[in-house]
Each structure stands twice: as C-alpha cells, then as structure tokens.
Amino acid sequence: MSEQTSTPIDLTGKVAVVTGAGQGLGLAYAKALAAAGAHVVVNDVDGDAAERAVREITAAGGTAAAVVAPVGPTSTADLLVRTAVDIFGRLDVLVANAGVIRDRVLWKMEDADFDLVVDTHLRGTFTTVRSAAVRMRDQAEGGRIVVVGSPAGQHGNFGQTSYAAAKAGIIAMARTWSLELARARITVNAVIPTAITAMTATIPVYTEVAEAYQRGEPLPRVVRQEHALGGPEDVAPLVVWLASDRSADVTGQAIGVGGDKLSLYSYSEELAVTYREGGWSAEAIDEAWPSTFGPAGQTSGITLPPLEDSVGAS
C-alpha cells in the first residue's frame, strides 16, 4: 500500500510517559511522540541513557524530562505520573515499554531470572498503567494507554518461558483494562513490535541482517515483510497514532508492526466444538479427537521463511 498524503498527527499539548525509553524501541517511541508535539517523560533504569535521550529530544526541538528508576514498584509508577504532572501539568499518554530478558530453557531457568522478567514486564506494566489510569480518570478528559507485547507472547518461543508468559499476560490485562476504562474514554491497546535492535542482533540468524541495517544498507523484501524487520523507527508511527485523537475508537486491540508489515492479532477463540449427551469420558475424548479436533490443532512457536542469501541480494 502506498503512503497517502494526509493531515499530520499533532500531539501538541499532550503529555506522555514512556518507560524503558533510554534506547532501542522505547527511545524511538519517545522521539516520535516528541516530534509530533508531545511533552515526554523519559524513563530508564540507566541514568546516562535517560539523560542522553532527553538531550536528543531537546536538540531536535522537543521537550522532555528524565526519571531514572526501575519499573515494577508502585513507587516508580507513582513517581512517573507525579513527574509528568509536576513538570508538564497533566498526563495524556502512557507507553509501558520497559522490559528485560533472561532466556533459558525450562530446566535451566532460575527463580531469580524468572522473577526479574515477570516483575519488570508484567508487574511493571500493571503498576504504571494503574497509576496512569488513576490520574487520567481524575482529569476526566480521556487518555491513551499503550502496552507492549511480543510475538513470543502470541505464539510461544523456545527458551522464553518467563518472557512469553509475561507478554501473554500483558495482552490479557490490556483487553481487561479496555473494558474497565472505556467509560472514562481511556483507550488501551497493545503493540506487538518486531524490529532490529541490540537484542535482535544477538540472534544468530539475524546477525548479518543487523550488521547490514547498521551500515545503512536497504533490507531485502523478505526481511522487511515476511520477517517484519526494519528499524525501531518503523514501529514508532503506530505508537504515535495510538496516542492521538485519531484512534479514539480503537481499544482492546493487539496490533503488530515492523518493517513493511502492519497486522491485527485475533482474540483466542474456540476452533472446534462438539457435544456429547451426558458429558465426556476419557475414552470418548480419545475417539472424538482425531476427526473433530486433530485437524484444527495449533502449532507452537514462531515460523518464519528462511533468510539464506537474502542480505545484499538485489
């Protein structure tokens, strides 16, 4: 689809909080929101990264302030909202992006690593959204909440028990919050991003792709479309749109974006149904499964086309 000329999305006067905004996708979100006119509170656990992000935003003509703190605790969530209100007077947009990974297969995963991932992604999203929702409800002018999922949370992914579980939980919370906050005109949507980042570059199959991207080389169509990989800047426009008044009637959705690809994920639904008068025995289930349910069985994991010889090809 070719891009059409339309009225630019203007976030002038809006105030946004972006967690995990010191680098990668979070930084791209913060920059794009600021470029559209929003005042941005940049959060990161890395103080140098947060301050660098603020400098980059202000150098480009935007307005930003930094909060250095780990997401998860309620105290951090409250601090983020308080900073937005104290410095910029209000809060209109929250992008709950912060996260970490500690990938291990199940039998090697340690409690501490599992807890860190779940506390940062799942609890961090919960606490920041709760604090933001309270403020937005008090303002009584609506609001925009954007949470961040992952293909791993939609499909599962080898070695990512904690990450996949947390991301799946975020989608479930977003759908619930979209119902609870609808009356207050606060939308809640999930972005499912795919992009070349420092994390992506550690995946062996994408090493060459990431190096080509860093060199500024155009990425092949199979990378940008079938793998939905471009830069963080390819994901940020969706966040800007979801932060705007243009998306006021969109809520409770999980929207994928990356490279050239934009997609809408389905809700979980029953794929096959049958009934048996009086209920089911184990033997009856065994008999019904092959013909009624087997053909509708779902696969686990993320399936992508091969990348052989795609980078650098004409």
Task: Give the residue-averaged pLDDT of 178-194.
Answer: 97
Q: Is residue 314 part of a domain?
A: no
Q: Is residue 294 part of a domain?
A: no
Q: Is residue 303 part of a domain?
A: no
Q: Is residue 52 part of a domain?
A: yes
**So what's the pLDDT on residue 309?**
56
**So what's the pLDDT on residue 314?**
38
- pLDDT(199) > 80: no
- pLDDT(280) > 50: yes
Largest interatomic CA distance in the chain: 71
> pTM, whole model, 2 decimals?
0.92
**So what's the pLDDT on residue 143?**
98
Task: Give the residue-averaged pLDDT of 201-229.
Answer: 89
**So what's the pLDDT on residue 201?**
80
Whole-angstrom CA distances from 270 to 88, 173, 274 are 46, 20, 11
Q: What is the mean pLDDT of the chain?
A: 93
Distance, CA of 160 to CA of 93 (rounded, Å): 29
- pLDDT(214) > 50: yes
Range of the domain at 158: 15-195+231-264
Cβ atoms of 44 and 21 closer than 8 Å: yes
Q: Is residue 309 part of a domain?
A: no
Q: Is residue 64 part of a domain?
A: yes
Whole-angstrom CA distances from 6 to 3, 104, 132 are 9, 46, 31
Q: Which amino acid is at 228?
A: A
Q: Which amino acid is at 219?
A: L
For the chain, percent of residues with pLDDT exceeding 70: 96
- pLDDT(224) > 90: yes
CATH code of residue 50 = 3.40.50.720
**So what's the pLDDT on residue 128?**
98
pLDDT in tens, 130-165: 999 999 999 999 999 999 999 988 988 898 999 999
Task: Give the residue-averaged pLDDT of 161-177.
Answer: 96
Active centre residues (catalytic) = 150, 163, 167
Q: Is residue 248 part of a domain?
A: yes
Total Cβ atoms within 10 A of residue 273: 8
Residue 34, both tokens? 């600021």
- pLDDT(124) > 50: yes
**So what's the pLDDT on residue 157?**
85
Q: Is residue 278 part of a domain?
A: no
Task: Give the residue-averaged pLDDT of 202-216.
Answer: 87
Number of domains present in the structure of the chain: 1
Strand partners, 254: 190
**So what's the pLDDT on residue 18?**
98
**So what's the pLDDT on residue 3?**
53
DSSP string for the chain: ------PPP--TT-EEEETT-SSHHHHHHHHHHHHTT-EEEEEES-HHHHHHHHHHHHHTT-EEEEEE--SSSHHHHHHHHHHHHHHHS---EEEE-------B-GGG--HHHHHHHHIIIIIHHHHHHHHHHHHHHHHTS-EEEEEE--HHHHH--TTBHHHHHHHHHHHHHHHHHHHHTGGGTEEEEEEEE----TTGGGSGGGHHHHHHHHTTPPPPHIIIIIS----GGGTHHHHHHHHSGGGTT--S-EEEEETTEEEEPPPP--------TT---HHHHHHHIIIIIGGGPPP-S------TTTTT--
